[in-house]
Chains A and B, each alone.
Chain A
Amino acid sequence: MKPPFEKVVAQHGATVLRVVRAVLGHADADDAWSDTFLAAMKAYPDLPADANLEAWLVTIAHRKAIDITRATSRRAIPIADTPDTPSRDHADECHVDLSEAVAALPTRQRQAVAYHYLAGLPYAEIATLLDTSAAAARRAAADGIAALRRTHAPKTESTT
Chain B
Amino acid sequence: MITSDLTALYPVADGDITRLHARLAAAADRDDLLDVAYRTVDSPVGTLLIAATPVGLVRVAFSSEGHDAVLQNLSDRISSRLLRAPTRLDAVARQLDEYFSGRRHSFDVPLDWQLSKGFRRAVLGHLAADIGYGTTASYGTLARLSGSPKAVRAVGTTCATNPIPVVVPCHRIVRADGALGGYRGGPAAKRTLLDLESVG
Chain A interface (Cβ within 8 Å of chain B)?
Answer: 1-7, 9, 13-14, 17-18, 21-22, 30, 33-34, 37-38, 41-42, 44-45, 87, 89-90, 95, 98-99, 102, 113, 117-118, 145, 148-149, 152
B95-130 interface bits toward A, Cβ cutoff 8 Å, 1 = contact, 0 = none: 000000000000000000000000000000000000
Q: Scan residues 2-20 of chain B and give those whose CB is less than 8 A from a CB of chain A.
A: 2-3, 5-13, 16-17, 19-20
The answer to whether A22 touches B82, judged by C-beta atoms less than 8 angstroms apart, is: no
State the B residues within 8 Å of A (CB). Answer: 2-3, 5-13, 16-17, 19-21, 23-24, 27-28, 31, 33, 36, 38, 71-72, 74-76, 79-84
Chain B neighbourhood of A38, CB < 8 A: 24, 27-28, 31, 33
Task: Kindly state the separation between the CA atoms of A25 and B80 in the bound complex, as whole angstroms.
Answer: 31
Report yes or no: B71 in contact with A149, Cβ–Cβ below 8 A.
no
Judge whether B3 and A6 touch: CB under 8 Å: no
A-B contact count (CB 8 A): 104
Expressed in whole angstroms, the Cα–Cα distance for A9 and B24 within the complex equals 10
Q: Is the Cβ of A118 less than 8 Å from the Cβ of B10?
A: yes
Taking chain B's interface residues, is the majority helix, strand, or loop, or is none over half, making it mixed?
helix
**How long is the Cα–Cα vector from A43 to B63 in the complex, in angstroms?**
31
Q: Which of A3, A13, A90 contacts B8 (CB 8 A)?
A: A90
Q: B2–A145 contact, CB under 8 A?
A: yes
Chain B residues closer than 8 Å to A98, beta-carbon distance: 2, 5, 9
